[in-house]
Amino acid sequence: MTIHKIKSSTRSNTVAKPLVSRDCGPAGCEVDWLTSKRLETQDDIGAFTDFSLEQGWGDGLPLIPPTDARVRSFLSENDRYPDEVIAKMPDSSECTVEKIVINAVMAGAPPESLELIIAAIEAISEPDFELYGVNATTAPVFPGFVVNGPVRDALKIPYSYGCAGGVATKANAIGRAIRLIMRNVAGQVAGVTSQTTFGSPGRLASILMGEWEEKSPWAPLAERRAGVTGNAVTAFSTMGTMNVLDTTSTGAMAFLEMIGKSVSYAGANCYSPSMEYSEMTIGINPICAEIIAREVPDIEDVQEIIWKSAAVSADWLQSLHRGQLDAQGRVREDGRIYATPEPKDMVLFVCGGLGGLHALGLHSFGSSLSQTKAIATAVPADEVQAAE
């Protein structure tokens, strides 16, 4: 029997580099670093929103006009040259800091969120994230993000009640900025470059949440996955959210079995013959995590228990579907088809409110593998000069 293992990313650029302040202030420099084409339009949100839709930049929600002054002001509060190339997009276009800032301004994201946005773009641009497939597929998939470290509180990234959507913080604008970059730089347009059948509300502002590290009995997600401590972001692909409610179980094994069986259903991408492998991202709320950890303190054991329950019987499937999966070696000796190749591919983190026993299922696109990136920290220029 062949077991298809999910490979790890071949790139390990997860160390947060120090940045040196090198801006010229809102008034700009003697040499104009901004290279984007200038267009004349009204500095009015309503008028600009209509104009953006005519030009193909908008997402249907109100946009802030990215005037020279606003873009320069945003840059002046950060430590990046606007022409710095952050990533190559699926069509080989270059995503520069300037393009990121323009979209961040339009979305209403705060200037202090730039390094988080940059780390998120770096993560989804890794080859193993397979952004081209995420952009083009018929599925409703979009990138989701889990943030670790003190930056969660600094940017008010929700990780408690309502963390997957509905909390009134600028995390919504930050997620929307990333989505606008995917539209305007990476070129994801439904019915044109994207064949998504239904789409998803997540394609407006994504899912940007934190891990409630202080309530977790395990090490933070970024540390477990990539050895990154402190500020970091993990990008994963998801079809949307699935709630798992269990008010009946009283012990760890019962909770984990319920989670595994709930996220496992035959129509998920992870059971498609077109996908040889998959990941599954699962958020466990703090109350449930505490109960689980008392009986199962090792996170790897938790992953394995969920993994064993996250399987469907091959007999459930019609013969053609079952035959294709069997030909790939995905029907195991016990006659079951597992959601992911190995227990490690169950990506677990702690989040959510304290009002009940819930888990959050975030189904993968399939061929997109989660990526973790450290979030860079700025170092004042005078401190660097003093060190030299």
> Residue 351 pLDDT more than 80?
yes
Q: What is the DSSP string of 221-233?
A: HHHHHH---SSEE
pLDDT of residue 3: 40
Neighbouring C-beta atoms of residue 84, cutoff 10 Å: 14
The better pLDDT of the pair 135, 70 is held by: 70
Give the Cα separation of 67 and 78 in Å (integer).
Answer: 17
The band of 250, judged by pLDDT with boundaries at 50, 70 and 90, is: confident
Specify the residue for token string 């409703």: 140
Average pLDDT over residues 235-259: 93
First-last CA distance in the chain: 59
Partners of 125 in the β-ladder: none
Instruction: Calculate what percentage of the chain has a pLDDT beyond 70.
Output: 88
Residue type, 2: T
Q: Assign 155 a pLDDT band (cuts: 50, 70, 90).
A: very high
| Residue 133: closest CA among 362, 371, 369 | 369
- Among residues 117, 105, 103, 97, the alpha carbon closest in space to that of 23 is found at 97
Torsions phi, psi of 373, nearest 5? -130, 140
Tens of pLDDT, residue by residue over 274-300, are 887 889 999 999 999 999 999 999 999
pLDDT at 11 over 60: no
CA separation for the pair 148, 120 (Å, rounded): 12
- The set of residues, in sequence order, having a beta carbon less than 8 Å from that of 92 and lying 6+ positions away, is none
Burial class (CB in 10 A: 0-12, 13-18, 19+), 274: exposed
Which pLDDT does position 339 carry in this prediction? Answer: 92
DSSP state of 260: H
User: How are beta strands 346-350 and 142-148 bridged, if at all?
Assistant: unpaired
Mean pLDDT to the nearest integer, 141-157: 96
Question: What's the angle, vertex CA 297, arms to CA 351 and CA 282, rounded to 5?
Answer: 30
Question: Which of 15-24, 108-117, 170-179 bottoms out in mean pLDDT, i.e. has the lowest?
Answer: 15-24
CB contact set of 319 (below 8 Å; sequence gap of 6+) = none
What does the mean pLDDT of the chain come to? 87
Give the Cα separation of 112 and 316 in Å (integer): 51
- Please write the tens of the pLDDT for every residue from 293-348: 999 999 999 999 999 999 999 998 889 988 998 998 889 999 999 999 999 999 99
- pLDDT for 388 equals 53
Does the pLDDT of residue 12 top 60, yes or no?
Answer: no
Report for 10-14, 180-184, 209-213, 274-278: range of highest mean pLDDT: 209-213
Asked if the model's pLDDT at residue 211 lies above 80, the reply is yes
- Could you report the per-residue pLDDT of 25-62, keeping only the tens digit for each? 555 555 567 777 787 888 899 999 999 999 988 898 99
Nearest to 58 by CA among 223, 184, 220: 184
Check if the beta carbon of residue 77 is closer than 8 Å to that of residue 113: no
Inform me whether the pLDDT recorded for 386 exceeds 70.
no
pLDDT of residue 33: 73
| Cα dihedral 172, 209, 362, 122 sign | positive
Four-residue CA torsion sign, 35, 41, 44, 50? negative
Q: Mean of the pLDDT values across residues 212-225?
A: 97
Identify which of 172, 129, 179, 152 has the alpha carbon closest to the alpha carbon of residue 233: 152
Would you put residue 276 in left (φ > 0), alpha (ψ -120 to 50) or beta?
A: alpha
